[in-house]
Structure 1
Amino acid sequence: MDDSSLSSSVDVDKGFAIAFVLLLFLFLMVMIFRCAKLVKNPYKVSSTTTEPCLS
């Protein structure tokens, strides 16, 4: 009986590993889209961040 209740419980280490992989995958997707936007139009993206304020 103890074995069946133990196997039905959630493994905490496995849950943390799955959550870490999902967050890493999400971060990778965001970085891919940002880099693709930069490659597509580098002047528009960089002009807003590097242009000094003259006013």
Structure 2
Amino acid sequence: MDDSSLSSSIDVDKGFAIAFVILLFLFLIVMIFRCAKLVKNPYEASSTTAEPPLS
């Protein structure tokens, strides 16, 4: 049995871990931009919820 071919192949667990970390960072970046948009203009961001007028 030749172990050199096994060591040169990509480890599946390591690939899943790297993909998970990349997706986590992308989610974090999206949340940062959404929160910054909310802080910049909170009334525009909250107008997406349809609330009936009180009168």
| RMSD of aligned alpha carbons | 1.6
3-state SS of the aligned residue for 1:52? Answer: coil
Number of residue pairs aligned between Structure 1 and Structure 2: 53
* Ranges in structure 2 where 5+ consecutive residues have no aligned partner: none
* Ranges in structure 1 where 5+ consecutive residues have no aligned partner: none
TM-score of the pair, normalised by structure 1: 0.83
| Separation (CA, whole Å) in 2 of partners of 1:38 and 1:52 | 18
Deviation at 1:9, TM superposition (A): 0.8
Q: What amino acid sits opposite 2:38 in the alignment?
A: L
Deviations 1:29-54 (A, max 9, x none): 100000000000001110222x4246
Show structure 1 runs of 4+ deviating over 6 A: none
Quick one: percent identity of the two aligned structures? 83
TM-score of the pair, normalised by structure 2: 0.83
